[in-house]
Structure 1
Amino acid sequence: MRSLRLLVPQPDGGGEDRGTTTDTLPAPATFPVSVDRAATFPAGVEPADAFPARVEPPATFPAGVEPADAFPARVEPPATLPADAFPVPAEPVDVASPARPADGGTLPVITSPDVVVGGDDAVAGPEERLRRAVVHLPDLARRVRPVRPARSWRSAARAYRTALVVLDAVTAAAAAAVVLRGATDPWVGLLAALLAAAAVPAAVWAHGGYAPDRTATGPAEDKAVLRAGTVVALAAVALSHLTALDAPPALPLLAPVAAVAVMVLGRLVLRAQVRRARRHGRLLRPTLVAGDAAAVGGVLAALREDRGLGLDPVGLCTTGPVDTHAAAGVPVLGSLPDLPQLVAEAGAEVLLVHDAALPAAELRRLTWLMEGSGVELMLAPNLLEVAAGRVTVQAAGGATLLRVRTGATRRQVRTKAAVDRLAGAAALLLAGPVLLVCAAAVRLTSPGPALYRQTRVGVDGAPFTMLKLRTMSVDADRRLAELAAADEGNGVLFKIRRDPRVTPLGRVLRRYSLDELPQLINVVRGEMSLVGPRPPLPHESEKYDTTERRRLKVRPGLTGLWQVSGRSDLSWPDTVRLDLRYVDNWSPAGDLGILGRTVGAVLGGRGAY
Structure 2
Amino acid sequence: MSERLSISPLSVHAGPRPTFARRVPRLVRAGNWRTSYVRLLAAGDFVVLLLALAATAFVRFGTEVAEVNVGGIDLPYASLAVIMALVWWMTLNLTRTRSPRLIGHGTEEYRRVVRATWAAFAGLAMVSVALKVDASRAYVAVAFPLGLIGLLAWRKTARALLHRRRRNGVGLANVLLVGGLESAYRINSYLHQHPQSGYRVGGVWIPDVDVVEGLDRSRCKVPVLGREHTLAGMIRRTQSEAVMVTDTEHLGPDGLRELAWQLESTGIELMLSPNVIDVVGSRLHLHELSGLPMLHLDEPQYAGASRFVKMAFDRVGAALILLAFSPVMLVLAALVKLTSEGQVFYRQERIGKNGEVFGMIKFRSMRVGADAELAALLASEGKSLAELPKLENDPRITKVGGVMRRFSLDELPQLLNVLKGDMSLVGPRPQRDFEVEQYDHVANRRLTVRPGMTGLWQVSGRSDLDFAESIRLDVHYVENWSMTSDLIILWKTFRAVVASDGAY
**For this structure pair, what is the TM-score category when the shorter chain's length is used for normalisation?**
0.7 to 0.9
Instruction: Give the partner amino acid of 1:160.
Output: Y
Query: For the residues of structure 2 that align with 1:168 and 1:564, how far apart are their CA atoms?
Result: 28
Change (3 A) 1:268 1:511: closer
Residue number in structure 1 paired with 2:277 = 384
> In the alignment, which residue of structure 1 is the partner of 2:487?
592
- Return the alpha-carbon distance in structure 2 between the equivalents of residues 362 and 201 of structure 1: 42
Q: Give the superposition deviation at 1:603.
A: 4.2
Q: Which residue of 1 aligns with 2:234?
A: 342
Contact 2:173 2:241 in 1 (8 A): yes
Is the aligned partner of 1:539 residue 2:434? yes
Q: 1:579 aligns with which of 447, 456, 474?
A: 474
Gap change, CA 1:383 and 1:308, over 3 Å in 2: same
Contact 1:472 1:502 in 2 (8 A): yes
Please name the residue that 1:395 is paired with: 288
Residue 452 (structure 1) aligned with residue 346 (structure 2): yes
Partner of 1:222: 110
CA apart distance, 1:592: 1.8
User: Structure 1 residue 411: deviation in Å?
Assistant: 5.8
**Does residue 355 of structure 2 align to residue 461 of structure 1?**
yes
What residue in structure 2 maps to residue 405 of structure 1?
Answer: 298
Partners in 1 of 2:231 and 2:499 — Cα distance?
A: 44
Q: What's the offset of the Cα at 1:547? A: 1.6
Distance 1:405 1:168 in 2: 35
| Aligned position for 1:6 | none
Q: Secondary structure at the match of 1:295?
A: helix
CA distance in 1, matches of 2:112, 2:375: 59
Cα distance in 2, alignment partners of residues 362 and 549 from structure 1: 41
Aligned-residue offset at 1:193: 6.0
Query: 2 CA distance for matches of 1:276 and 1:245?
Result: 45
User: How is 1:597-608 mapped onto 2 (pairs within 5 angstroms)?
Assistant: 597-608=492-503
| Conserved 8 A contact 1:489-1:568 | no
Report the Cα distance in structure 2 between the residues aligned to 1:433 and 1:298, rounded to whole angstroms: 50
C-alpha distance in structure 1 between counterparts of 2:152 and 2:355, whole Å = 42
**C-alpha distance in structure 2 between counterparts of 1:395 and 1:489, whole Å:** 54
Structure 1 unaligned regions, length at least 5? 1-149
- Contact 1:152/1:284 (<8 A) preserved: no
Closer/same/farther in 2, CA of residues 332 and 499 from structure 1, 3 Å limit: same
- 1:170-226 deviations in Å (ceiling 9; x for gaps): 566778885994136566878766655554444333333344434444644434443
SS of corresponding position for 1:213: coil
The superposition leaves residues 485-506 of structure 1 with CA deviations (integer Å, 9 ceiling, x where unpaired) of 2364784425311233333333
Residue range with higher mean Cα deviation, 487-496 or 375-384: 487-496
Q: Is the 8 A contact 2:407 2:500 kept in 1?
A: yes
Deviation at 1:229, TM superposition (A): 3.0
Q: Distance in 1 between matches of 2:319 and 2:342?
A: 27
Q: Distance in 1 between matches of 2:78 and 2:370?
A: 73
Question: Does residue 503 in structure 1 map to residue 394 in structure 2?
Answer: no
Counterpart for residue 374 of structure 2? 480
Residue in 2 aligned with 1:159? 36
Question: Aligned partners of 1:422 and 1:158: how far apart in 2?
Answer: 44
Amino acid at match of 2:245: V
Work out whether residues 349 and 358 of structure 2, in 8 Å CA contact, stay in contact via their aligned partners in 1: yes
Partner residue, 2:247: 355
Judge conservation of contact 1:390–1:405 (CA < 8 Å) in 2.
yes
Aligned to 2:332: 438
In 1, Cα distance between equivalents of 2:259 and 2:300 = 35
Alpha carbons of 1:248 and 1:366: their partners in 2 closer, same or farther (altered >3 Å)? same
Selected match of 1:367 from 250, 255, 260: 260
Does the 8 Å CA contact 1:288/1:351 hold for their aligned counterparts?
yes
Structure 1: which amino acid aligns with 2:179? Answer: G
Q: What is the rounded CA distance, in whole Å, between the counterparts of 2:274 and 2:193 in structure 1?
A: 17
Structure 1: how far apart are the matches of 2:324 and 2:36? 43
More helix by share: 2
Instruction: Specify the SS of the correspondent of 1:162.
Output: helix
CA distance in 1 between counterparts of 2:109 and 2:67 reads 34
Aligned to 2:68: 183
Q: Does 2:468 align with 1:548? A: no
Q: Secondary structure at the match of 1:471?
A: coil
For residue 153 of structure 2, give the secondary structure of its aligned residue in structure 1.
helix
Q: Is the 8 A contact 1:233 1:257 kept in 2?
A: no
Task: Classify the secondary structure of the residue corresponding to 1:530.
Answer: strand
Q: CA RMSD in A?
A: 3.2
Distance 1:242 1:527 in 2: 54
Greater Rg, structure 1 or structure 2? 1
Using the alignment, how far apart are the partners of 1:348 and 1:278 within structure 2?
Answer: 16
Paired amino acid for 2:246: H
**Range moving further from structure 2, 171-180 or 490-499:** 171-180
CA change 1:253–1:475 in 2 (3 A) is closer
Unaligned runs of 5+ in 2: 1-26
Find the aligned partners of 1:197 and 1:503 in 2 and give their Cα distance.
Answer: 55
Match of 1:523 in 2: 418
The answer to whether the 8 A contact 2:304-2:481 is kept is no
Seq. identity, %: 36
Larger RCO (alpha carbons 8 Å, 6+ apart): 2
Q: Give, in whole Å, the separation in 2 of the partners of 1:360 and 1:507.
A: 60
Structure 2 distance, partners of 1:192, 1:443, is 60
- The Cα of 1:544 is off from its aligned counterpart by 2.2
Structure 1 residues 199 and 451, CA, compared in 2 at 3 Å: closer, same or farther? closer
My pick for the range that moved more, 161-170 or 394-403, is 161-170
